[in-house]
Amino acid sequence: MNVDIHPSWKTLLQSEFEKPYFKNLTDFVKQEYKNHQCFPPGNAIFNAFNLCPLDNLKVVIIGQDPYHGVGQANGLCFSVKKGIKHPPSLINIFKEIENDLNIPYPKSGDLTTWANQGVLLLNATLTVRAHKAGSHQKQGWEQFTDTVIQIVSEQKSNVVFLLWGGYAKKKKKLIDTKKHFVFETGHPSPLSANRGYWFGNRHFSKTNCQLVQVGLPAIEWKLL
């Protein structure tokens, strides 16, 4: 099966694309996009991979579902298109960056510049039906993205994995913690953050500290 994805990923994922579950997943997604409004746009489904080639990857942030509101999702977890109102979780991410690194709160919620620096912004499920959170779960995406996490763990070294919330923390079992760095905290959603499980985690400065220690460039978290 031909999937439009960056060559650095395609080489390692081609065998996955040929498996029966991925064909079934593809058929499901095609029907959903044909019969319903779905997000992100079809050409942005694999944005996380196309904007962050495996060779460039330094950090992985794991989300669950794309945003399901009109015009929000752009193929990167927690990210929205420029000009779109920031969702509550993204607001709390930016507040933590502001507190952690003294970086001003940005106007844009588009995290493409992070991806371009080597941050894989990976949702466990890459598509969703409009206004129906979780509607494309358990169709095969989770098997695919779990494989992606395992490939990153096997192929790379010294990657910083940021696991936010209970769902993301379950992915720790896929990561070789002897060769990678894993930081865990609560989810940035208001429900978790307001209970004291998010703010003060300092994941952004900690990530840069780890990257610099192994001779890699720090991430410029600042957005315009």
Would you call the peptide bond into 40 cis, given omega within 30 degrees of 0 as the criterion? yes
DSSP 8-class letter at 120: E
Alpha carbon distance 102, 125 (integer Å): 32
Would you state the structure tokens that stand for residue 62, as one six-digit string? 């794991």
In what helix (H) or strand (E) does residue 164 lie, and over which residues does it extend?
strand 160-164
Q: 128-129 and 38-39 as β-strands: parallel, antiparallel, unpaired?
A: antiparallel
Active site residues: 65
3-state SS, one letter per residue, for 41-99: CHHHCCHHHHHCCHHHCCEEEEECCCCCCCCCECCCCCCECCCCCCCHHHHHHHHHHHH
> Shortest CA distance to 146 belongs to which of 115, 182, 168, 171?
171
CA–CA distance, 10 with 13 (Å, rounded to integer): 5
